Each structure stands twice: as C-alpha cells, then as structure tokens.
Amino acid sequence: MIKVALFDAKAYDRPSFEHYGSLRDVEFRFLETKLNEDTVELARGCDAVCVFVNDTVNAAVIDKLYAYGVKLIALRSAGYNNVDVKAAFGKVHVVHVPAYSPYAVAEHAMALLLTSVRRIHKAYNRTRDFNFSLNGLTGFDLHGKTVGVIGTGRIGRIFIDICRGFGMNVIAYDHFPAKDSGIHYVALDELFKQSDIISLHCPLTDDTRHMIDGAAIEKMKKGVVILNTSRGGLIDAEALLEGIKARKIGAACLDVYEEEADIFFEDRSGHILNDELLSRLISMPNVIVTSHQAFLTEEALNNIADTTVNNIRSCFDNDGVCDNELCYRCGNIEQCKKERKEKCF
C-alpha cells in the first residue's frame, strides 16, 4: 500500500481519489491545509505527496520532503509553476496531469465570454428583483469578431474550435506553433493589435509572467475583452485595473488571479477581503471573477484522480517509468518529458 498525503483537500476531491486509490492500493491521507514550509511535517511517514495549484513546493519544502523519505510529488494539475522542479532533480520525482478535461476549461472560458458580452450576470440579478428592464444590457455579436488565442495546447485548440463554431475569426500566438494545425499564427504584438477578444491558454513561466502588462494593453484595441482561465500571473493585475479605469479594456473575465493562493477555494463571505486590488477588480461592472473553477466538472475530477493514481503507481512499480514525469535533467522540462523513455534520475 502506497501512502500519500493529499494537501489542500476539498470535499469534491475525496470521492474520486478514494475510488481510484482503492482500485490501485494507494491510500490517501486528506489534509485540508496547504503544503508549505510550516505544514510539510504532515507528510512524515508517507511515500508521496499530492499537491494542487496553490501549494508551495519550493526548495526548502523539497529538502524536507527528501529528508522525510518522500519519493514523489504528484501534482493533480497540468501546471507546475508552484514546484521548484530544478530543486527536486536528483531528490524527489515530480509528476503532473497534462490533460484531464481540456473541454472543461475551454467551455468555461466561452461561458465567461458569453456571460460578459451578453450581460447575462446582470440580467440574472435584475430579474430576481422582478426588474425586467433591458436598459444597459446591450451586448454584441461574437460572429465576425477577431479572437486572439495565446497558447495552442489542448485547451487552446479546443477553445479555437468553439470560437470557429461561433463564426469568429481566429488568430493565435504560441512560442511553439502546432504544425499542420490550420491555425493562423501571428506575432504577439500583431495579436494585441488585431484582437477584439484575447484569451490566455499558456503556462506560467519566467517568459510569460505579466505578458499582459501596461505596454501590452497599450497596443490593444479600445474595448478589448480579456479572458484568463490559465494562471493569474500571466496578467499584471494593477495594469489590468488601470486599463479598465482608462476605458481601454472593455471587459475582463478572470478565473485566476496572481495572489489567489490565500483567497480562492475558501468561503470568505463573512470576512473583509484584505486584497484591495482584487476587491477593486470585482467591484468593476465589466469584470467577472470566478474562483479557479474552470476545471471543475465531474469528468475532469475523475480524470484527474485516475491519472494521478496511475502516475503514482507507475513511479513505484516495476522500472518506475512514468510518461507524466517532469524532469530537469536537460534543463528543458517539457521537451525532455516528450523525448525521455526512462526515469528522470
């Protein structure tokens, strides 16, 4: 039996992880606290830890996990920007879930867009008060509009397909364009200039952090709609707020926020929100914020648990090779992962 400490556990995590764990002799210890330097001791006696997007897995945490005999960090997400993969090399193996339900995230992005441009959230609140006025609810057609998609991995390509179904003109930017995809790629600055709507679907790296900043916003069309269902750090939130106040940005739909770690996934309705920037964004009439829920479908939860359990078993069984291991051996995590047919170390 492999023992795993699952940090930042939520009620919706338990059924799927308990189910798939019981099928593969993996025992999960569900911990509501997030993993960080103060809580890492809770992993003592476990073979692996399972972490999510707001757990802190820095070098100090990794050193302690290594000292406790923990052999594996299993991310139950695709992104791994919260894990110091370089520090883990040679000590603790790292695996992730590269694909769970790309449809879930892409569909949520479109749901946010439709809600915003057709003022559905405002109409919902009005009619609950029996206010059936249409004043202020005028939207615009998506058909014929230009959407710029940044990042054309699985989620980005599905979002592109959805947009094409609406008759939208799609342009895209990716540092590694998908070959023979039929996608019309343009330079990033060109995407900023041409797009009526910009949707982010790329990972957070040193190169992409704050790719949407004041300079980028300045290049955009007046009234542009910005969607982010990827990682909060892709957008400089202060620059975003300034762009909204200056009427440069027509609307923002955010499922992620750079400083979300101590806010999202929790009920804070009875408390004063100390994050003034987030409070001001939420107060804007043309901003919609959801709390990192784009992934949250039954299909995605089952796929995440199934893949995570398989990742764990693969790392502890036979030769220990796992297709979803993240490696720093060659310094190029993604490329190394695609080419490697053996354990990282």
Q: Which of 80, 81, 42, 85 is nearest to 62 (CA)?
A: 85
Tell me the three state secondary structure of residue 183. Answer: coil
Q: Is 292 a catalytic residue?
A: yes
Q: Are strands 93-95 and 48-51 parallel, antiparallel or unpaired?
A: unpaired
Q: Is 143 a catalytic residue?
A: no
Q: Which of 231, 258, 313, 325 is catalytic?
A: 231
Q: Is 260 a catalytic residue?
A: yes
Q: Which of 93, 119, 292, 313 is catalytic?
A: 292
Q: Provide CB contacts within 8 A for 157, sequence distance 6+.
A: 178, 181, 183
Tell me the three state secondary structure of residue 238. Answer: helix
To the nearest 10 degrees (0 to 180), the angle between helices 102-117 and 298-316 is 150
Q: Provide CB contacts within 8 A for 314, sequence distance 6+.
A: 95, 320, 321, 322, 323
Helix or strand (DSSP H, E) at 112 = helix 102-117
Q: Which of 85, 82, 87, 81 is nearest to 64 (CA)?
A: 87
Q: Hey, what amino acid is at 7?
A: F
Q: Which of 108, 260, 313, 325 is catalytic?
A: 260
- Whole-angstrom Cα distance, residue 6 to residue 345? 24
- Whole-angstrom Cα distance, residue 9 to residue 32? 5
Catalytic residues: 231, 260, 292
